[in-house]
Structure 1
Amino acid sequence: MKKFNFKRFRLRQLNPEELDERYLLINLYVTQLLVLTVASVILLFRRPNLKDMFSFHPGYGTVLLWGVGFAVLVLIVDFTVGRWVPPEVTDDGGINQMLFGNRPLWHIAVLSLLVAVCEELLFRGAIQSYWGPYWTSILFAAIHVRYLQHWLMTGLVFCISYGLGWIYVHTGTLWTPIVAHFVIDFTMGCILRYRRED
């Protein structure tokens, strides 16, 4: 039996200059497919009541109020941080700009919805029931690797994740964090796409 040589594979950090938009877009779609697959496997063993998880029991208005309200709060904090903190502290290496900077509006919406549904299904729907919001948020912050170099951004991602977990527990429906996650990503994507450089 032939042995597989793992030493041939080397991990190295890529610079944003080495990446192109197409590579990042493919990477995003593949990553979200992986996230959805992991969430599906966990949920298959857990066998939650999907009807309850995706119910609108508190009402559409409540889901929208909590989801959009939380998103607005996050965006206010993000804009405040961006105004008072040096750009190098919030720098993600230009990844978000490359992902959203030249996308049409419909594609920003599709990407934001895909990420919101897949990540919330995994983190809030599948993992949080085992680990709780605190440890789930640590994992959530850890997978956002591009922010780990900056403690402030890692802390913000942790707090956003914890807030998403809290509104999920409070409302009892996964739609609330999905709405919040979508509004945050869509708004930030539109800002990156349509802002004017001074």
Structure 2
Amino acid sequence: MKKFDIRNIRVRSVSVDELSDRMLLLNLYVTQAVTLVIGLAWCFFQGRNPFALLGLPSGASFLYWGFGFALAVLAVDLILSRWVPEEAADDGGVNERIFRSRPVWHIALLSLVVAVCEEMLFRGAIQHSLGPYWTSILFAAIHVRYLKHWIPTGLVFGISYGLGWIYMQTDTLWAPIAAHFAIDFIMGLIIRFRREA
């Protein structure tokens, strides 16, 4: 039996084009699972019940906040896309690869998974400790594919800060989850159907 030698492990950078569709999705789901676990653990260490954060609020006002914010973000993105060259907003083709050939139900599922997992970590756990500004710095940093260009980096920071703000205004995690879901879902649909035309 051959012995495992840790010195033979080689690490190299892989572009999104080198990943199969299955590997790309696996990577996305695993990173979201890790994000959720970290968020849940962080809440427990804060002495808070993370499952209470997901309790549904009474009334639908959180939806107005969430979807209203999502519409504002999409309007800004539409305006920016008219004047900003496409290469200045390049994410390395990740969003294109994730959404371009997915059925609508899968775009919705991906958007929901990402919204719940990331909002649990960033708004539910980190913002409680660091506040919305530093949470938004971390949120922008974790979306590393945008860091090559200042416009998408600034947009991601602004979106994160806005998500933190609506969380503070509504006192429910469901408002930023609704906004995050709507933004990702609509952008995913735009990518999906723009390429079919």
Q: TM-score, structure 2 length as denominator?
A: 0.91
Mapping of 1:7-22 within 5 angstroms?
8-12=9-13, 14-22=14-22
Mapping of 1:138-149 within 5 angstroms?
138-149=137-148
2:41 aligned partner: 41
Would you say how many aligned residue pairs link Structure 1 and Structure 2?
Answer: 195
1:176 matched to 2:172:
no
Q: Which runs of 5+ in 2 are unaligned?
A: none
Shift of 1:53: 2.6
Mapping of 1:86-125 within 5 angstroms?
86-125=85-124
- Mapped to 1, the partners of 2:196 and 2:105 lie a distance apart of 22
What CA deviation, in whole Å up to 9, does each residue of 1:16-54 have, x standing for no partner? 321232221111001001101111111121132446533
**Identical pairs, percent:** 56
- Mapped to 1, the partners of 2:34 and 2:52 lie a distance apart of 24
Shift of 1:6: 6.3
Whether the 8 Å contact between 1:164 and 1:180 is mirrored in structure 2 is: yes
CA RMSD of aligned residues (A): 2.1
Whether the 8 Å contact between 1:63 and 1:175 is mirrored in structure 2 is: yes
Whether the 8 Å contact between 2:40 and 2:50 is mirrored in structure 1 is: no
- Mapped to 1, the partners of 2:142 and 2:195 lie a distance apart of 30
Whether the 8 Å contact between 1:74 and 1:184 is mirrored in structure 2 is: yes
Q: TM-score, structure 1 length as denominator?
A: 0.91
1:25 aligned partner: 25
Q: Which aligned runs of 4 or more in structure 1 are off by greater than 6 angstroms?
A: none
Whether the 8 Å contact between 2:43 and 2:50 is mirrored in structure 1 is: no
**Residue 172 of structure 2 aligns to a residue in which SS?**
coil
Structure 2 counterpart of 1:187, which letter? Answer: I
